[in-house]
């Protein structure tokens, strides 16, 4: 089961031998929607490799304020966990499943071993870091250069892409949490987006019309 999925998704990326090793040492895990997958601050001795689904990665500060960083999809890994020992910061990185997802955990000591052994693993690790860095840059751009209305619309369209569904099942309150603002602000700006014809509002549901 896990073997088949690993082969199906990663045979293009990884050498046969490496896939075999992943099957041997990896731990398979199913994560239900809204379940907490990882919580840093915790020490992390394994790294997650996404088989399918979607994980929302967010940052939380001491006051419980939160901000969404990006989403993980099939084939992604969460490189931030590699260095969880280093960051002495109080803030946390959290990963919560946005839909039912499947993940393989790989013991962290294999990371270096495989760097020597497999070219495909070297590429994968370097690429993962680069993708993560550029996603962090995108988050920084969003925070630094966009107003809340633009941030909100970006959030909605990003989520539509990840969920592969133009109708989002969510509430204004939850969106406000993800953007670190208040429910009233979100309601106000959503109504504005609706008036501009970009979305359609329902209870517990938002249709995104253009994206």
Partner DNA sequence: TCTTTTGTGTAACAAAAGTTACATCTATAA
Partner DNA sequence: TTATAGATGTAACTTTTGTTACACAAAAGA
Q: Which does 184 bind (CB under 5 to 8 A by kind): DNA, its own copies, none?
A: DNA
Q: Does 190 bind DNA (CB under 7 A)?
A: yes
Task: Please report whether residue 141 would count as binding its own copies according to CB under 8 A.
Answer: yes
Q: Is 200 a residue that touches its own copies (CB under 8 A)?
A: no
The residue among 74, 76, 88, 105 whose CA lies nearest residue 40 is 88
Residue 193 is a binding residue for its own copies (CB under 8 A): no
Q: Which two tokens stand for residue 9?
A: 């998704």
Q: Does 38 bind DNA (CB under 7 A)?
A: no
133 binds its own copies (CB under 8 A): yes
Nearer CB in complex with its own copies: 141/210: 141
28 with 102: CB under 8 angstroms? yes
Enter the tokens of residue 2.
Answer: 């896990």
Contact yes or no for 95/34 (Cβ under 8 A): no
Mask: binding to its own copies, 74-103, rule CB under 8 A, as x and -? -----xx-xx--xx-x-x-x----------
First to last CA, the chain: 35
Residue 185 in the binding site for DNA (CB under 7 A): yes
How far is the C-alpha of 80 from the C-alpha of 89, rounded, in Å?
Answer: 13
Joined together, the tokens standing for residue 47 give: 């790294």
Q: Is 181 in the site for DNA (CB under 7 A)?
A: yes
Site residues for DNA per CB under 7 A: 147-149, 171-173, 180-185, 187-191, 201-205
């Amino acid at each position: 089961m896990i073997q088949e999925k690993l082969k199906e998704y990663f045979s293009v990326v990884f050498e046969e031998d490496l896939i075999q090793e992943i099957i041997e040492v990896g731990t398979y895990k199913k994560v239900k929607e809204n379940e907490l997958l990882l919580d840093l601050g915790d020490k992390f001795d394994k790294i997650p490799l996404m088989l399918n689904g979607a994980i929302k990665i967010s940052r939380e500060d001491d006051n419980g304020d939160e901000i969404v960083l990006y989403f993980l999809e099939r084939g992604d890994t969460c490189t931030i966990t590699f260095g969880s020992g280093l960051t002495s910061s109080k803030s946390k990185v959290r990963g919560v499943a946005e839909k039912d997802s499947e993940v393989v955990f790989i013991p962290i000591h294999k990371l270096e071993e495989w760097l020597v052994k497999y070219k495909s693993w070297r590429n994968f690790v370097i690429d993962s870091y680069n993708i993560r860095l550029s996603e962090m840059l995108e988050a920084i751009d969003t925070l630094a250069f966009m107003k809340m209305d633009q941030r909100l619309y970006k959030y909605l369209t990003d989520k539509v892409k990840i969920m592969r569904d133009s109708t989002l099942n969510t509430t204004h309150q939850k969106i406000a949490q993800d953007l670190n603002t208040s429910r009233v602000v979100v309601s106000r700006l959503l109504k504005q987006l609706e008036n501009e014809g970009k979305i359609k509002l329902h209870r517990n549901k938002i249709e995104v019309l253009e994206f």
